[in-house]
Structure 1
């Protein structure tokens, strides 16, 4: 073999070796990329969070969320539930602008109904005895998160937890910041219109009178965030217990509020009884024509960002 042929042969060998090395390298890189991508996908597909019943692994981006009676929090984070809370035909009316087209599910969460809507995430309150099934029953249908008592009782804590669960921490923080700004603005307006005049809220339903304690539902926001003055009759009630007990018509004769908001339908027998009571009609709030009637009580008797913001708007408009 002459020298020219030797050089050509050596060049071919070297080129072949380089091509083989490059192919192996690309193959290994591809395997590494595939493995990394797979790992990233697995990591993004699920998250593990602490719940009232311990750690639970849930989908990172659930599309069909069942969070009965916590729809307010979902709406605040721009999420639509797969089904909405109901007792028979009754729903949370104040949310209907967003949930009118969402099917209902009975408040006890019947297992057959839950199965039929095929949720990929279920969120339950800590009072599990209220549900038809057990935690294990729901967890067998879909990953199930159980809210703590604090998360149930404090809507701001609940909103932050939902933000964590749904990967919307920034949205939750922004919503709370916007809410604080709304509260501060409303506080200034109400200070101008009400000053130190007191306001009471009462729900009348089924002929019974439920006066809001200072910590009951949105009254907590009205008295403790907006700094609206509570009348003595409300202060005497103290902190509201879990069971909301009605007060008597006789007790209402002691109403000392400068303004009274009555929630309920005007044809309710309880409101009819008030209008026909000489003692009630002689109270200062009635004599001064400072009784306001609102038929839809739903945002006033719930707690959440949407409920609070709607109540703020109504309150400010009422006293303009």
Structure 2
């Protein structure tokens, strides 16, 4: 009997030792797995990117991003900046549904204002945007990325690069794919509604007028991708870095069959055109095919959200 009891105890002891050994092995494997995952996460989170001012290590999951005049790309990728671009009281009105509660910061990022926002990532849209301090001074506040001019000048490249900066490459691709679908929809609708009738885009600011060339803001998408027909006057324009106003007399040569007249309702330019016999003689006015667009902010910036709003406005006006 004693031997039986001893045998049972021995077996139980061996089983206990085996269980302990097994648990230790599982714990070691679990720890190794956690260490591996942590290592992989660190590799994904911290990335060193080249940019216009050298190299920068992008922090892990930045939550306080400061990227003045790049808010369109941020919002398109589901990010909210810690502060938004402004010149005095002016800001990007078309984004205010998303940025209504976001404080403003002056466009040139004064160093003290920048420091007060406590950013963990700063993004400039070009080297020339560093107006109030050196790159090294901003770098002391937070890791700072500066876009190359040629990347920033193309809104698609700018968005793609923002996806790279924020490790949201897939989201950037989805935004561009959705945008391309919108272009095809508007292309089909407008082709059916107006065919090859010519379309022009005129912006009035104060008492001055600006005619969009084929490469200016949303006009590039509308002419090159949607395929709207340019009037001869627009075809003859050359893009200049500094956008110059066009005289009322020259505007009278506009042979467009449809005109989008862009500007706040209170702009003096609307009254000037109403009183101008030169303006009243162009085809679009004579045929009552002038469409007033009184929310101008998305018309004068490049970005996925801005251009989609422009596409929607043109589609609605030309197909209703």
Q: Identify the residue that residue 244 of structure 1 maps to in structure 2.
A: 243
Worse overlay, 128-137 or 54-63:
128-137
Q: Does 1:40 align with 2:40?
A: yes
1:271-290, Cα deviation, whole Å (9 max, x unpaired): 22222122222222222112
* Whole-Å separation in 1 of the counterparts to 2:167 and 2:235: 41
Question: Do the aligned partners of 2:264 and 2:296 also contact (CA within 8 Å) in 1?
Answer: no
1:31–1:210 distance in 2 versus 1, CA, 3 Å: same
Q: CA deviation at 1:157?
A: 1.0
Question: Do the aligned partners of 1:207 and 1:269 also contact (CA within 8 Å) in 2?
Answer: yes
* Whole-Å separation in 2 of the counterparts to 1:201 and 1:27: 68
Q: CA deviation at 1:254?
A: 0.7
Correspondences of 1:33-182 after superposition (within 5 Å): 36=36, 38-182=38-182
Q: CA deviation at 1:194?
A: 1.3
Worse overlay, 17-26 or 123-132:
17-26
* Whole-Å separation in 1 of the counterparts to 2:48 and 2:25: 36
Q: Identify the residue that residue 218 of structure 1 maps to in structure 2.
A: 218
Q: Identify the residue that residue 271 of structure 1 maps to in structure 2.
A: 270
Q: CA deviation at 1:33?
A: 5.6
1:182–1:37 distance in 2 versus 1, CA, 3 Å: closer
1:295–1:30 distance in 2 versus 1, CA, 3 Å: closer
1:34–1:88 distance in 2 versus 1, CA, 3 Å: same
* Whole-Å separation in 2 of the counterparts to 1:19 and 1:273: 91
Q: CA deviation at 1:31?
A: 7.2
Question: Do the aligned partners of 2:108 and 2:129 also contact (CA within 8 Å) in 1?
Answer: no
Worse overlay, 50-59 or 38-47:
38-47
Equivalent position SS for 1:200: strand
Equivalent position SS for 1:298: helix
Q: Identify the residue that residue 310 of structure 1 maps to in structure 2.
A: 309
Aligned residue-pair number: 311
Equivalent position SS for 1:62: coil
Q: Identify the residue that residue 192 of structure 1 maps to in structure 2.
A: 192
Question: Do the aligned partners of 1:60 and 1:166 also contact (CA within 8 Å) in 2?
Answer: no
Q: Identify the residue that residue 258 of structure 2 maps to in structure 1.
A: 259
Q: Does 1:280 align with 2:279?
A: yes
- TM-score, length basis structure 2: 0.88
Equivalent position SS for 1:241: coil
* Whole-Å separation in 1 of the counterparts to 2:95 and 2:313: 15
1:184-214, Cα deviation, whole Å (9 max, x unpaired): 1110000011101011101110211111010
5+ residue gaps, structure 2: none
Q: Identify the residue that residue 231 of structure 2 maps to in structure 1.
A: 231
Q: CA deviation at 1:129?
A: 4.7
Q: CA deviation at 1:130?
A: 4.9
5+ residue gaps, structure 1: none
1:33–1:205 distance in 2 versus 1, CA, 3 Å: same
**Root-mean-square deviation (Å):** 2.6
Q: CA deviation at 1:35?
A: 5.0
Worse overlay, 56-65 or 29-38:
29-38
